[in-house]
Amino acid sequence: MTTGDDRAEDVASVDPFATDPSNPRSWKRAFRDIGLGWRQRALWGYLGWQDIKQRYRRSVLGPLWISISMGVIATAMGILYGALFHEDIKVFLPYVATGLLIWNFINGCILEGSEVFIANEGLIKFLPAPITLHVYRLVWRQTLFFLHNLVIWLLLVIIFPQPLSWTVLLAVPAFLVLGINGAWITVLSGILATRFRDIPPIIASVTQLLFFMTPIVWSYERLKSNPLAAYVELNPVMHFVEILREPLLGQEIVWRHWIVVGAITVVGSAVALVCLRNYRSRVAYWV
Amino acid sequence: MVSIDLDRAAVDFPIFDAKTRSLKKAVLGRAGGRIGTESKVPIIEALRDITISLRKGERVALVGHNGAGKTTLLRLMSGIYEPTRGRASIKGKVAPVFDLAVGMDPEISGLENILIRGLFLGMTRKQMDARVDDIAEFTELGDYLQMPLRTYSTGMRVRLALGVVTSIDPEILLLDEGIGAVDAEFMAKARNRLNELVARSGILVFASHSDEFLAELCDTAIWMEHGTVKEHGPLREVLAHYKGRDVLAEIEAR
């Protein structure tokens, strides 16, 4: 039989699949799940690439289709909404495209996040692995999509030069923050949705609504004269889009967005951690 | 130290979509675990009061009717399910071979599947690269390994899965039924390899309805019934009680 906690810890550090007999609802186990998942990055890194290659298997252009379809949608939407709102296409097209590719990342994390464990039912039930493995894989896959889409941004800032400055470097920490938020939202909504299957459709309709409430195909600056526009600030997604779009387009950095995003990151991660601690071991039972 | 210790472990499944009304009475049928109704959500007690201690070198057969809890017990031993009550302490590198289709992507080649399976079982990429030739030789699939897995027959998939599992030196090997789909010649080879593997290290737990296969690989047995351990002892005795006749003697007589 097992003795004290210290010994269980010792075994855990050597053996990725050792389970100690203590209460499954423990912080140690939650953090071990996160740590073990990270250690298996060779696996989820490979699987994330496979997911993308899978989608375009036997197609001639392969993953290049991600960039192409993004480019087509962004151009069409930029021209359409630019004409509707009487915007200058040189400014508005890169604005819409950049907003869209950030939105795509957020949308992917939220939408697929709620299905992450349901979709991996087979793997969860048949192969012992930390559940965060599936979370890492999803965020990594979305990151790869984002990087493919970033080509469109690059093309557009070459065609329509933007006032880029050193602030473009802020895009890196901004994207990291987006990734962390993608991870906690996946953990939280993934676990809840595995237990309550009504959550994925709710999330799907909410994200659709969020798209129109976020300044992506319309400009917040233009509508500022309208007193109702201030309510847009209540939409958390807007702040996430802004922290990444501002540096990518050389716009003035508004630190208010960073503060809001920072607060959401801390609170969200804490809630997701509690959820992971309490319900991590239940996921295999619920899927 | 390789060991499996289960102490009054239980696995309860909540059944969220079952109509509570139709499950008002606790049912105790011939097949399946006990269905409890104390809580709002109906619960299937797939396993209860399981106390088992396995040590290095043990080769355990798992027998019982369909739905007796064999697969669930294997999943409990692999750490996929953490017990809802009681304790489970598993020490050692676990390699489960349950459903051969799971964790295998039909669209990618056999080689890539070998890599993914190995990574799932806790190997590094380097370790798997070093083993690929050995697995290719053992499975006798040769150039076929370059083909997508969807072109493989069931038997070929079994070969692949067994090849990976037996090449990585697991300390605890958990085999579920359904690996009988390979031809006799390969089976002999797999038996040798499994025998070697078990002799070399660790614990084998093998759920199967094939008495011959069990006799070949195991020396003790656990008889599961209604989610509990009905009997745990030497293979010959347990199998004889389970089948109602001395099966091992029949096999030896052949």
> What SS3 class is residue B139?
helix
pLDDT at A3: 37
With CB atoms and an 8 Å threshold, state whether A50 touches B105: yes
Contacting residues of B for A11, CB less than 8 Å apart: 91
| pLDDT grade for A13, boundaries at 50, 70 and 90 | very low
> What does the block give as tokens for B249?
């003697």
Q: Sorting pLDDT into bands at 50, 70 and 90, what band is A18?
A: very low
pLDDT at position B26? 43
> With an 8 Å Cβ cutoff, are B89 and A2 in contact?
yes
Taking residue A236's Cβ as centre, other Cβ atoms within 10 Å add up to 17
- Provide ipTM, 2 decimals: 0.83
Would you call A250 helix, strand, or coil by DSSP? coil
With CA atoms as reference, report the closest residue to B170 among B121, B130, B211: B121
Q: Give B82's contacts in chain A (Cβ within 8 Å).
A: 19, 24, 281, 284
Which residues, numbered 93 to 132 in chain A, qualify as contacts with chain B under a Cβ-Cβ cut-off of 8 Å? 122-129
| Cβ–Cβ below 8 Å for B103 and A127 | yes
pLDDT by residue (tens digit) across B159-175?
888 888 878 778 888 88
Specify the pairing of strand B172-175 against strand B94-97: parallel
Instruction: Pick from A7, A10, A19, A282 the residue to mutate for testing the B interface (most B CBs within 10 Å).
Output: A19
CA distance A245 to A216: 10
Set of chain B residues whose Cβ sits within 8 Å of the Cβ of A50: 105, 108, 112, 116
Rounded to the nearest angstrom, the minimum Cα separation between A127 and chain B is 7
Q: Supply the DSSP symbol for B148.
A: B
pTM over 0.90? The answer is: no
Which pLDDT does position A19 carry in this prediction?
A: 47
**Model confidence pLDDT, tens digit, residues B57-107:** 888 999 998 888 998 999 999 999 999 989 899 988 888 877 666 667 888
Q: What is the largest CA-CA distance in chain A?
A: 74
User: With an 8 Å Cβ cutoff, are B93 and A50 in contact?
Assistant: no
Instruction: Determine, for residues A126 and B13 on separate chains, whether the beta-carbon distance falls below 8 Å.
Output: no
